Amino acid sequence: MAVHFRSFRSRLVVVFLGLFALIQATGYFAVTAFVRASARHTVDDELRLASTLFARQLDVRTQQLVAATRLLSGDFALKTAVATADHATTASVLENHRQRVDADVLMLAALDGHVVADTQRPAHHGVPFPAPRLLAEAEAGRDASDVVAIGSNLYRLAVVPLLAPEPIAWLAAGFAIDDRAAADLRRLSGLHVSFVARRDGDVVVHASTLGAADRRTLASGLPALGAAGVLELDGGEHLVRIEPVGRDVVVVLQRPLAEALAPYDRMLLILLAVAAAGLLLALLGAALVARRVSRPVLTLARGARRVAAGDFDVAVKVPQRDELGELARTFNEMVGGLRERERVRDELERTAKLKRFFSPQLADALSAGDESLLASHRRQITVVFCDLRGFTAFAEAADPEEVMRLLHEYHATIGPLVFANEGTLERFTGDGLMVFFNDPVPCPDPAARAVRMAVAMRDAVATLLAEWRRRGHALGFGTGIAMGDATIGRIGFEGRFDYAAIGTVTNLSARLCQEARDGQILVSEPVHAEVESLVEAKNVGPLPLRGFARPIVVFDVLGLRPQPTEPP
């Protein structure tokens, strides 16, 4: 099936498919959007839950840290060492206590806010405490803990007073929040975890499960985000949730959207497969429907083309009972009408043609289809020959126009008489005319008809001759009539057939015509015998005729006897 988009069928298929594809695509995109939204929602919920848990966990750990630190602060040896300004011992006790609680750092600050001892940086003696705010908090009697950046590291730090029993110093314990801690949290939650310090517009990613590039993206993208948002990281879109865990520190939880979408991938794949199958079915269906619709149209078009080419034997077959079926029926009816009209026209044409040779009655019979009349046969007929005397000489001398005009007048005068007497016009030969009777339609009185016709012709032509004579043309009219058997039938070749009678009777009548002088109607004896009662005739005696061994008895018909009544 060649696809031409101009064809009705292709267009129908395309429209079908287009609509189907549109519906499918709309459905697909709606589902995709829904799935995306749903996945986002799920991830959002996860992140919210995780951030709450993280915050809670940090709280708990901080409380534990505070409790542990407070416990450490109650140590009398530490108090003694601090109170006696024994720095070496103080540092040693701190290191010992750090190991006890497995903290990452233990620091002691004097009441004036300067570091007395730092387990991680023993040299940091006398520098200002890195989180002075916490000291103020502790001094105000509150639980002082926060996530703070010390150098490039992040610590969860708790500060408690060293009481003796009034505060004599501040004890700070800290746990590092580093990449390892972030990795631990990732193992627990399955989320990307980053700890980010935000201070005076500076964003520093201190600890993270992300790679270096993503850390930079996070640092640059974070200020624009609120509590939640979307970041384009390596591996696609990440949903992000930001939860404060300290005064200047937030924990950023991320999950790639693709991870949440993964379970839906299979569903979308199935959806796509269904859509594809549907499209295929729609294609088949559309093609079938289009075929059903277009086939009758094409059939009709073919039929119309044939009609246009003149073939009216067309009947389109459209079995449908719908509008197309109705159209086909109407079409067939129309073609039927056309065919009928064409048939009538043909018949009329044929009849007109036959009428050249036969009487109108015979022509009608023939055109009605009775071709058997024209089959070869032998029959007794009466043959009439007539022509103009002196015509050959006239034709040589006169203008061709005058010759034709004269012939036309002549034929126009005698032609109707042939038909009027139901004679069969066998041929015109210039001025000559051959007509026979009793064939192809037999008649009861062929000789009588022949003679009556000949008399009528002579009378009619006499008027013409008088007229012609006035115009200076000396012409005459002679007639010969014979009766006998002849072989009759169609002769000629395809494209030109004549209905001819062959036999002695033809020759005889032609000879008699030759013998006849102007105004004479010479008939053979059998003819005379047939019409004796009808005509006045004079025996002109036996005449020696060329082609005939013996002289032939010939009568000259002078005129018709008056008839008391018209023959039926």
Partner 1 sequence: MRRALATILGAVTLTLLIPCLTPAQTDRGRLDVLVKDERGKPVADAVVSLTPPGAIAGPPRPGAVMDQQGKEFVPLVLPVAVGTPVTFPNRDNIRHHVYSFSPAKRFELPLYIGTPAAPVVFDTPGSVVLGCNIHDWMLGYVYVLATPYFVKTAEDGKGRIGELAPGTYEARVWHPRLRAETEKTATPVTIAAGEPGQVSFVVALKPDRRPIRRPNYEGVQGN
Residue ranges binding partner 1 (CB under 8 A): 74, 76, 79-80, 83-84, 140-141, 163-168
Cβ within 8 Å of residue 532, ≥6 positions away = none
Quick one: 139 or 525, whose CB is closer to partner 1? 139
- Mapping DSSP to helix (H, G, I), strand (E, B) and coil, where does residue 173 land? strand
For the CB of residue 55, give the shortest distance to partner 1 in the complex, in Å: 27
Quick one: 66 or 105, whose CB is closer to partner 1? 66
For the CB of residue 177, give the shortest distance to partner 1 in the complex, in Å: 30
| Alpha helices (runs of H) in 421-567, residue ranges in sequence order | 446-470, 504-515, 525-531
- C-beta of residue 271 within 8 angstroms of C-beta of residue 215: no
Quick one: 85 or 334, whose CB is closer to partner 1? 85
CA distance 105 to 121: 9
Quick one: 140 or 466, whose CB is closer to partner 1? 140
Give buried/exposed letters for 99-128 (b at 16+ CB in 10 A, else e): eebebbbbbbbbeeeebbbbbbeeebeeee
Phi-psi region of 344 (alpha: psi -120 to 50; beta: other; left: phi over 0): alpha
CA distance 490 to 374: 6
Quick one: 169 or 177, whose CB is closer to partner 1? 169
CA distance 300 to 317: 9
- C-beta of residue 286 within 8 angstroms of C-beta of residue 278: no
**What size, in residues, is the chain?**
568
Quick one: 88 or 549, whose CB is closer to partner 1? 88
For the CB of residue 101, give the shortest distance to partner 1 in the complex, in Å: 18
For the CB of residue 219, give the shortest distance to partner 1 in the complex, in Å: 41
Quick one: 142 or 302, whose CB is closer to partner 1? 142
| Alpha helices (runs of H) in 107-255, residue ranges in sequence order | 132-139, 179-189, 212-221
For the CB of residue 105, give the shortest distance to partner 1 in the complex, in Å: 24
CA distance 181 to 158: 18
For the CB of residue 114, give the shortest distance to partner 1 in the complex, in Å: 19
CA distance 241 to 55: 12
For the CB of residue 143, give the shortest distance to partner 1 in the complex, in Å: 12
Quick one: 79 or 241, whose CB is closer to partner 1? 79
- C-beta of residue 159 within 8 angstroms of C-beta of residue 134: yes
Cα dihedral across residues 54, 60, 64, 70: positive or negative: positive
Quick one: 142 or 356, whose CB is closer to partner 1? 142
For the CB of residue 84, give the shortest distance to partner 1 in the complex, in Å: 8
For the CB of residue 76, give the shortest distance to partner 1 in the complex, in Å: 5
